[in-house]
Amino acid sequence: MGLLDKASDAGSKSAKKPVAKAVAKAIPVAKAVAKAKPVAKAVAKAKPKAVVIPDAVTGKPVKAIRARAIPQGLPENYETASPNARRIAWFTNFVVNLGPVFGFLFSVAVLDAFTTIFALVALAALTLNLIVLPIMSGRTLGNFVSRTKNITYSGSKPNFLHALFVNSTGILALTGLVFLMIFAGSVFSEKGSTQIQASVWSILGIIFIILFFINSSMKRSNEMNQGLYDSIFKAFLVKHIPAEGEVSTGFIGKLESMASYGDRFTQRQEAKVAKKAILNESSSDESDDKPVAKAVAKAKPATKAKAKATAADKKDAGKTK
């Protein structure tokens, strides 16, 4: 029995040894996994970090925009409004916004009557065109007539404050002029609190007038015809092309039908341009034909001289004979 026990003990020891070797061989695999961790760290470090730059106004650090951000330019599939459409939109908004205001001023200065009615009409027109319609549709009456609209770089309609500021620059400039006419003289003639109030209103009027000229100069110098408030709200005036199946009904549908007036004006303008082009072509053709006619007229005496010379030669030949 003792010999059998020793033999079994020896067999169990020999069976346990390969297991230990297998465990020992598995250690390098764990080391390889441990070595792979720095690679993952390197990949994590390779990710681009946001660059921190100081703000131009506040001086506080601000993260720069990543490359994946939407480019703040004119979106695709949109076309900027033509100069003729811009003129139609401007003229319509001018009449709607300032027409009742001029009527109110006329009633105050000349008629001295119906001032309340004109004031209510002017306030209603300004509220409708500068606040209500931009909130409902993002467009003004001028946009409806000229088939245009304002969009941002993302293709959505801008904040209604954009329409309020853009279409009130003329009104604010006129208001500033009135402020200067009323209060500028009191700045130098009055003293105390009256002088301070007159100075505040005069400075406010100057600011309104300066903003008007800044907006106009920026429109002239910008390729997209963006003014001051267009640049602030990142808005563009583009052609309005309804999407497939888009049908406007109700009050907005009636406003959409007003675009027929703008289309008629555009057709008349295009017809005038075509007539001018035809007249210019005809005048250029006539100017080109005149030198040819003159050359032909000059060539006729030469042919007559040749004919006379040939006739003289024939006479000389007959005499010699």
Q: Is residue 152 part of a domain?
A: no
Say whether both 118 and 260 belong to one domain.
yes
Average pLDDT across the chain, whole number = 74
Which band of pLDDT confidence, cut at 50, 70 and 90, is reported for residue 211? very high
Tokens of 173: 């400039």
Q: For residue 36, what pLDDT is reported?
A: 46
Residue 203, pLDDT > 90, answer yes
Tell me whether residue 166 is in a domain: yes
- Is the residue at 288 inside a domain? no
Percent of the chain exceeding pLDDT 90 equals 16
Chosen domain end from 190, 208, 233: 233
Based on the domain organization, do 171 and 219 belong to the same domain?
yes
Which two three-digit tokens encode residue 178? 């009135």
Same domain for 217 and 110, yes or no, is: no
Q: Which residues of 161-191 are buried (b: 16+ CB within 10 A; e: fewer)?
A: ebbbbbbbbbbbbbbbeebbeebeebbeeee
The percent of residues above 70 in pLDDT, for the chain, comes to: 64
Are residues 163 and 226 located together in one domain of the fold?
A: yes
Which structural domain, as residue segments, surrounds residue 126?
82-147+246-267
Query: Residue 258, Cβ neighbours under 10 Å: how many?
Result: 14
The tens digit of pLDDT for each residue in 98-116 reads 889 888 888 888 877 778 8
Q: How many domains does the chain have?
A: 2
- 202 occurs within a structural domain: yes
Q: Are residues 214 and 184 in the same domain?
A: yes
Is residue 43, in this structure, part of any structural domain at all? no
pLDDT band at 184 (very low <50, low <70, confident <90, very high): confident
Answer yes or no: do 223 and 94 share one domain: no
Q: What is the DSSP letter of 113?
A: S
- On whether both 210 and 95 belong to a single domain, the answer is no
Instruction: Please return the burial class of 146, using the count of CB atoms within 10 Å of its CB with bins 0-12, 13-18 and 19+.
Output: buried
User: Residue 218: is its pLDDT beyond 80?
Assistant: yes
* Distance, CA of 248 to CA of 137 (rounded, Å): 11
Does one domain contain both 226 and 88? no
Residue-level pLDDT at 295: 54
Are 134 and 250 part of one and the same domain? yes
Task: Write down the residue that tokens 């059998």 correspond to.
Answer: 4
What is the number of residues in the chain?
321
Three-state secondary-structure class, residue 236 = strand
Whether the per-residue pLDDT at 244 is higher than 50: the answer is yes
pLDDT: is 105 or 309 the higher one?
Answer: 105
- Quick check: 164 and 130 in contact, CB under 8 A? yes
The answer to whether residue 213 scores a pLDDT higher than 90 is yes
pLDDT of residue 67: 37
Name the domain boundary from 233, 254, 287: 233
Q: Where are the alpha helices (DSSP H) in the chain?
A: 2-45, 83-106, 115-127, 133-137, 141-146, 160-166, 169-189, 193-221, 228-233, 250-257, 259-320
Examine residue 191 and state whether it is found in any structural domain, yes or no. yes
Three-state secondary-structure class, residue 80: strand
Q: Is the pLDDT assigned to residue 149 strictly greater than 60?
A: yes
Give the tens place of pLDDT for each residue, 66-97: 434 445 678 778 888 888 889 999 999 999 99
Q: What is the pLDDT of residue 29?
A: 44
pLDDT exceeds cutoff 80 at 118: yes
Q: Are 113 and 252 part of one and the same domain?
A: yes
The per-residue pLDDT for 59 is 57
Q: Is residue 195 part of a domain?
A: yes
DSSP 62: E
Structure-model confidence comparison of residues 108 and 63, the more confident one: 108
| pLDDT at 50 > cutoff 60 | no
Does the pLDDT at position 283 exceed 80? Answer: no
Eight-class DSSP state of 209 = H
Tell whether 99 is covered by a domain.
yes
- Print burial letters for 93-108: b (CB count within 10 Å at least 16), e (below 16): beebbbebbebbbebe
pLDDT band (50, 70, 90) for residue 263:
confident
Could you tell me if 97 and 227 lie in one domain?
no
pTM of the model: 0.59
**Worst-scoring range by mean pLDDT, 88-97, 170-179, 263-272?**
263-272
Q: Is 220 found in the same domain as 180?
A: yes
